[in-house]
Structure 1
Amino acid sequence: MTVHPFDYDAYWRDQTRDDWRKRGLHWHCYTSRMDGNAYGDDPARRDPNSELAPREIRDWLRKPPRAIRQMPASPEEAIRWLRAQWEPVKEQIGREATAISDETRFGTALYNLRCGNDVCWGFWLTASLHLHLAIVATDEKCHP
């Protein structure tokens, strides 16, 4: 058996993945800004009526519809939303924002969405303010 080398830095450049289409997915986009107290308040984060980011990404789908910020129909549309959230805050994030190039950061996210996976990013904007960005896939027919 031959094991071919794997390029861990470039796998996400594969633009042929369309698992999301085969599974009939669309996405729900969410944002949450939490101070340190809210971030550590597990009961509040588990509360399905709360707009605080849940600990488990799929639990976003149990949150109220008012928590949905956008409903992209394609991975590319979801990435445009994510980039629009990222650009205004990346200077606040500091070194963590530049540790990974935007090409790799968004390319990997796009690949994951094309594979039908969720994307979740979390960053501390200040010592006491956490930003949570999530793109959660669903195949439910929840919108007209």
Structure 2
Amino acid sequence: MNERRPDGAPGSVRTPTHYHCYKWSGSGQEWDRLGRTDTLDVNSPDRPPQRTNDWLNKSPRLIAAVRTSAGDARDWLVAEWGRVCENALYPVPAWVDGEDRAAAALAAIESASWPTYSQWLAGGTIVLLSVVGTDQTCH
């Protein structure tokens, strides 16, 4: 594993023992409120984080899956992305999908550059998907 720190977080990167696969969705109004700290607690454990690595500090209910290998975590991310794109507000261009995206996601996971994808859905909902590796004993 690369010794790169995700999001500039302090400390050295340790080899993950497993990967948390996160999924958060909310309405457009809720998403808009996230940018205004006077109206919503952005540190709430039930809200998506400001920094990708901070998913680990959020509510466990946001963990949609747990995978033990980088490849399995990538497979979850790519599959969820495919399902999300089926309901996208606007058509998703072909270049956004496919083998290249899967390869890039795996490279990001293997280098601890935790990938996050987002998509607006028909009906005014936004979905965020993210994979973050950890060596914490949390399950």
Deviation at 1:54, TM superposition (A): 2.2
Q: Out of 112, 122, 125, which is 1:126 matched to?
A: 122
Is 1:63 the equivalent of 2:58?
A: yes
Q: Distance in 2 between the 1:34 and 1:72 partners?
A: 24
Listed as ranges, the gaps of 5+ residues in structure 2 are 4-12
The residue correspondences of 1:1-144 to structure 2 (distance < 5 A) are 18-19=1-2, 23-25=14-16, 26-42=18-34, 43=37, 44=40, 46-50=42-46, 52-93=47-88, 94-126=90-122, 128-143=124-139
Deviation of 1:48 after TM superposition, in Å, equals 3.2
Taking the aligned partners of 1:101 and 1:69, their CA distance within structure 2 comes to 21
How many residue pairs get matched? 124
* Residue identity (%): 27
Q: Which amino acid aligns with 2:26?
A: M
Runs of 4+ in 1 over 6 A off after TM superposition: none
Shift of 1:100: 2.5
What are the ranges of 5 or more consecutive residues in structure 1 without an aligned counterpart? 1-17
Q: Return the alpha-carbon distance in structure 2 between the equivalents of residues 100 and 87 of structure 1.
A: 10
- Taking the aligned partners of 1:32 and 1:66, their CA distance within structure 2 comes to 9
Q: Pick closer, same or farther for the CA change 1:121–1:75 going to 2, 3 Å.
A: same
Aligned Cα RMSD in Å? 2.3
Using structure 2 for the length normalisation, give the TM-score.
0.75
